[in-house]
Structure 1
Amino acid sequence: MSALAKFFLYKGVEVSGYDRSKTEITLLLSNLGSHIIYHDDISSIKDIESVDLVVFTPAISSNNVQLNHFKKTNIPVHKRAYILGEITKSYQTIAVAGTHGKTTTSSIVAHLLHQNNCGGVSFIGGICTNYNSNILLQEGQNAVVEADEYDRSFLQLHPSAIILTSMDPDHLDIYGDEESVTEGFKLFVDLLKNEDRLYVQEDLKNQFPTALTYGYQTSSTLFVYDVRLKEGYYIFNVNYKGVVYENFEFHLPGRHNLLNAAGAILSCLEWGVSFEKLKSALANFNGVKRRFEIHHNDGQRVYVDDYAHHPNEIKVLYEGLREFYPDYKLIGVFQPHLYSRTRDFLMEFQSVLSEFDTLFVMPIYPAREMPIEGVNAEVLLEGIEMDQKSLLVREEDLSYGIKTRRKVCCFYYRSW
């Protein structure tokens, strides 16, 4: 949502907004000239008579006083996804979709295009570290959009090309079951007018047999091979339609992030960007905030912040931590996000979290949901088979649990 606000501000449009509390993002928007209010009442809105458009996210409460007021007026009121689609439909849009990996992949694509002066506009679901922003603006007709499956928002977009990273079940509070999740992604893919511009992770080949694929298998259109870990980063080779490109450099840990990079490389090669330009740009990509973000590393303790809120995301994060820090004790600090997700994937969460050497679990962050009876952090923790596990009620208690340990790598996920 903040990327849209920045877009309008950069275009000289007056922007006002509401949030429940002050954050780094709202303070930044205020500094850019936006009027942000933190009380849900009409009287707080500046120049309410001059409002031309109201944009909201599906996460906003149906009881929101301001939103319900505007719905009763003649002022256009639209979801974020619709406005994003309206802005980008005049561009050649690369839309990045998938249950996991879309923020990192869209950030890499945006960076690769931006570094080669063909970026146009990019709307990203996270803060790209190179630019400290979730929106990139350049002259040009290309756009990069993170296509969110929640609430089927991505069906409002107008993609010229699609990168599909994964289709694992999630948001079952919206979709109901795994089959409906898959159907939602297929409806999104059907929006493509040119099926040659569908790029899917190789595990999805059977679902989309005509798509170009990327991954590690030699049967893929583009595959990564000869991966080497060198001084804290990857060196790897790429085979693209039988042509070999050697010695790519990539600084994000985790084989899942290598897959994200492969999807970005494939799309940009298909988009006409040269190998040498891609290689140079990828080497200086610094990642995305809260995606394997290293906050501290003194050789003895490493603190990693990651937005892994699904069991499969925690699994690949754990594998990346083990690969990069094989001699370290791994401590997980996890706050479940949503009661419904915790309920729907309870056993999967318990299985993957049990792999850590020590685990702290925080109370569930409800976001848009009301509590569900019998679903809480205690129930999650009880089913995890390990000795060193604790309920962490206060973040400040964390230091006690790790202060005496040496060679520690601490994965930290908070939901806010």
Structure 2
Amino acid sequence: MQEQNTLATLGNVHLLGIGGVGVSAVARLMLARGLTVSGTDAKDLPVLDDLREAGARINVGYAASNLGDADTVVVSSIIKDGNPEYDEAVARGLRILHRSEGLAATMEGHKVITVAGTHGKTTTTSLVAFMLREAGISPTFAIGANIASLGVNAEYGQGRVFVAEADESDASFLNYAPDVAVVTNIEADHLDHYGSVEAVHRAFYDFACLLPDSGLLICCADDPGSLALAVRMRRERPELRVQTYGFAEVADRRLSDAKPVGLRFACTLEWGSGETAALELAVPGNHNLLNAAAAFAVGLDCGLEPEAAVAGLGAFTGAARRFDFRGEAGGVRVFDDYAHHPTEVTAALRAARAVAGDGAVHVLFQPHLFSRTKEFHREFAEALSLADSAYVLEIYPARETPIPGVTSELLTRELNTAGRLVSMAEAAEVLASVAAPGDVVMTIGAGDVTEQAGAIVAALEKRLGS
């Protein structure tokens, strides 16, 4: 962990990529803490108007002169050498902080709750923040997605609790100083950064080691990596409080009797010496019951009564692009999900199967990153084969250049269900043509596949009527 920066040392702060969901969250919180804030983005995005209204000086288009009298520059991971403002900051010798370091500075004076994991961290962070706000605690929070239930992805609250999503993708979660840390799961991912599965596990261990002796580590007992971390920390740091949750018998907070109840999902949560609570969610799937169990544990640590915790969790309606309902036409429901790892795709499709009931499940999937597709194409094919039909778009490259021989065909030729490779131009019509009343259609992936959800609804209306 790097030395923590305090608000008093930052001076005037200039943020590069200020329109991005993560950097804009930092800007919101810095403005709320009374700092002088400016920033630049390549595009004039709607969020920039909100930041202008809050008092930030905003530029569209990068130029060295935009730095003005900045003392500190905050950057996202995508800002590199060659950006004129970044290069000017280096030339001036200004303090340059990663987005996570800027966020860490805004945590000053709070009880810090960080949520990490290969999957589920956005939803779990959102559940925690929403639950606490519903209970009147008024937390500050920063989340890596726009949250419909919260109305915003970052907010400065009146309480002393700070809830933050902790991103492991580039190991920047090691820049925080948490009092409570949640680890939803630990799996191989972001190997372009880490290089090996062992390095991923080491990073999560280092993350857990950031906790003070009085801290609390909350781990999922259903995930081998997370459970192994809990066991290790109990052995190495007996003074640290460690709690586990899950359907597994060994879990300290155990879930059981999970089932759909109408359009909701329910289970029984048991802990201690026979204490129980009935947990019922508006978001589907066992994976969300697990996320809620983690949030429940955080709530009790923050002083909530069990009844208040489950009530808040039950009122949560979801995070953007996490089993996000996008419309219905002709009796076919269309959902969109950000899943971009095989385990996430499996969880999304299992939830879709539960929602569909006797209907079929059809998926349009867009692989994200050449490196991830190369590493996990067989696992993706296995996950997609849970659907009745799976149609696959070409790889969304994001930050990567193509890898020779790595295309979506690596995945489609391993499918064990109906489906094929489709183009973006034909995707909506193809999915609409295979769906029947009572079915569920999902668009899945971290790229621009999300834009196809609305197109599929329109195509279904044309074919089946509204």
Do the structures match in fold with TM over 0.5? yes
Structure 1 unaligned residues grouped into runs of 5+: none
Match of 1:368 in 2: 399
Structure 2 unaligned residues grouped into runs of 5+: 1-22, 235-241, 449-466
Q: Which amino acid aligns with 1:239?
A: E
**Distance in 1 between residues matched to 2:340 and 2:250, nearest whole Å:** 31
Match of 1:321 in 2: 352
Q: How many residues align?
A: 412
Match of 1:39 in 2: 61
Match of 2:12 in 1: none
Indicate whether 1:405 and 2:435 are aligned: yes
Correspondent of 1:259 among 265, 271, 290: 290
Contact 2:32 2:156 in 1 (8 A): no
Write out aligned runs for 1:13-412 (5 A).
13-26=35-48, 28-29=50-51, 32=54, 34-42=56-64, 45=66, 48-194=67-213, 197-202=216-221, 203=223, 204-209=226-231, 210=234, 211-297=242-328, 300-394=331-425, 397-403=427-433, 405-407=435-437, 408-412=439-443
How high is the TM-score relative to the length of structure 1?
0.92
**Distance in 1 between residues matched to 2:35 and 2:429, nearest whole Å:** 45
**Distance in 2 between residues matched to 1:22 and 1:362, nearest whole Å:** 29
Match of 2:16 in 1: none
Contact 1:311 1:345 in 2 (8 A): yes
Q: CA RMSD in A?
A: 2.2
**Distance in 1 between residues matched to 2:389 and 2:133, nearest whole Å:** 41
TM-fit CA distance, 1:258 = 0.4
**Distance in 2 between residues matched to 1:259 and 1:375, nearest whole Å:** 34
**Distance in 2 between residues matched to 1:170 and 1:50, nearest whole Å:** 40
Question: Does the C-alpha gap of structure 1 residues 403 and 150 become closer, same or farther in structure 2, counting only changes over 3 Å?
Answer: same
Deviates more, 1:7-16 or 1:86-95: 7-16
**Distance in 2 between residues matched to 1:401 and 1:278, nearest whole Å:** 40
**Distance in 2 between residues matched to 1:230 and 1:51, nearest whole Å:** 55
Contact 1:255 1:320 in 2 (8 A): yes
Q: Which amino acid aligns with 2:443?
A: Y
Q: Which amino acid aligns with 1:352?
A: A
**Distance in 2 between residues matched to 1:205 and 1:83, nearest whole Å:** 31
**Distance in 1 between residues matched to 2:48 and 2:344, nearest whole Å:** 28
Indicate whether 1:4 and 2:26 are aligned: yes
Q: Which amino acid aligns with 2:135?
A: N
Question: Does the C-alpha gap of structure 1 residues 357 and 226 become closer, same or farther in structure 2, counting only changes over 3 Å?
Answer: closer
**Distance in 2 between residues matched to 1:385 and 1:217, nearest whole Å:** 30
Contact 2:194 2:200 in 1 (8 A): yes
Contact 1:196 1:212 in 2 (8 A): no
Question: Does the C-alpha gap of structure 1 residues 401 and 151 become closer, same or farther in structure 2, counting only changes over 3 Å?
Answer: closer
Question: Does the C-alpha gap of structure 1 residues 60 and 362 become closer, same or farther in structure 2, counting only changes over 3 Å?
Answer: farther
TM-fit CA distance, 1:28 = 4.7
TM-fit CA distance, 1:158 = 0.3
Contact 1:237 1:244 in 2 (8 A): no
Output one character per residue of 1:67-94: Cα deviation in whole Å (capped at 9) or x when no partner.
Answer: 1221211322110111112221431111
**Distance in 2 between residues matched to 1:373 and 1:16, nearest whole Å:** 41
Deviates more, 1:307-316 or 1:10-19: 10-19
**Distance in 2 between residues matched to 1:346 and 1:336, nearest whole Å:** 9
Contact 2:178 2:210 in 1 (8 A): yes
Deviates more, 1:32-41 or 1:87-96: 32-41
TM-fit CA distance, 1:42 = 2.9
Contact 2:277 2:307 in 1 (8 A): no
Contact 2:130 2:150 in 1 (8 A): no
Q: Which amino acid aligns with 2:388?
A: D
Q: Which amino acid aligns with 1:306?
A: D
**Distance in 2 between residues matched to 1:350 and 1:200, nearest whole Å:** 28
Contact 1:124 1:145 in 2 (8 A): yes
Output one character per residue of 1:247-288: Cα deviation in whole Å (capped at 9) or x when no partner.
Answer: 322111010010000011012112221112112211211111
Q: Which amino acid aligns with 2:111?
A: Q
Question: Does the C-alpha gap of structure 1 residues 247 and 383 become closer, same or farther in structure 2, counting only changes over 3 Å?
Answer: closer
How high is the TM-score relative to the length of structure 2?
0.82
Contact 1:89 1:158 in 2 (8 A): no
Question: Does the C-alpha gap of structure 1 residues 379 and 71 become closer, same or farther in structure 2, counting only changes over 3 Å?
Answer: same
**Distance in 1 between residues matched to 2:381 and 2:306, nearest whole Å:** 43
Q: Which amino acid aligns with 1:208?
A: A
Question: Does the C-alpha gap of structure 1 residues 401 and 95 become closer, same or farther in structure 2, counting only changes over 3 Å?
Answer: closer
Output one character per residue of 1:362-409: Cα deviation in whole Å (capped at 9) or x when no partner.
Answer: 222222222211112233333334442232233x64134314631331
Question: Does the C-alpha gap of structure 1 residues 72 and 199 become closer, same or farther in structure 2, counting only changes over 3 Å?
Answer: same
TM-fit CA distance, 1:340 = 1.2
**Distance in 2 between residues matched to 1:171 and 1:227, nearest whole Å:** 32
Describe the SS at the equivalent of 2:115. Answer: strand
Contact 1:100 1:166 in 2 (8 A): yes
Output one character per residue of 1:77-130: Cα deviation in whole Å (capped at 9) or x when no partner.
Answer: 110111112221431111111111111111111111112222431111122212
TM-fit CA distance, 1:142 = 1.0
TM-fit CA distance, 1:339 = 1.4
